[in-house]
Amino acid sequence: MSKESLIASLRTVPDYPRKGILFWDVTTLFKNAEAFKEVEDILYEEFKDKGITKVAGIESRGFVMGAALASRLGAGFVLIRKPGKLPADTVRMDYELEYGHDTIEMHTDAISPDDVVLVHDDLLATGGTAGAAVKLVQSFHPKQVYASFIIYLKDFGSVAKFPPDVPVTTVLDLAGA
């Protein structure tokens, strides 16, 4: 399946979640078995030799491919969620967004210093949530942190905002802000 076919499997929703935003919806890619498998294969090939021990998925669309990838890599899966959604002790990270602020949490026992962690989400735009998730994971001092995204909206330039020791992999680099 070509990158063009993967892009064609996406849906765009104008003015969601608010006016002026063009929302790139990966749920249409997820429901297409061939497209889903292709993205999983691309990410697996990228990370199969990196020693990944945990995949940390960002709520909520990051859970879908993140969990599938963790299983395929033989790694554990860690949830990064909005406040109050995890049942045990958590550590939190507050961060600024272009339209306000938000918080994410992870269980305090989710990651150890021996782990190699892949932080995964569906889309990277401004990098606020993903950057906070990487910082949250780094606070556990794992051996290495990687980041991956299905869609990268390259007009925002947010890949350059990640620390140089956190390699970022994107499947579909798209124009559009």
Catalytic residue set: 61, 98
Backbone angles phi, psi at 9, to 5 degrees: -80, -10
Helix (H) or strand (E) holding 140: none
> Under DSSP, is residue 152 helix (H, G, I), strand (E, B) or coil?
strand
Q: Are 111 and 140 in contact (CB under 8 A)?
A: yes
Cα 87 to Cα 52: distance, rounded to the nearest angstrom: 25
Helix (H) or strand (E) holding 62: helix 61-73
User: CA quadruple 6, 29, 156, 15: dihedral positive or negative?
Assistant: positive
E-only strand ranges, the chain:
11-14, 22-25, 54-58, 76-80, 90-97, 100-107, 116-124, 144-153, 168-174
> Under DSSP, is residue 83 helix (H, G, I), strand (E, B) or coil?
coil
Q: Are 121 and 158 in contact (CB under 8 A)?
A: no
* Amino acid identity for residue 98 in this structure: E
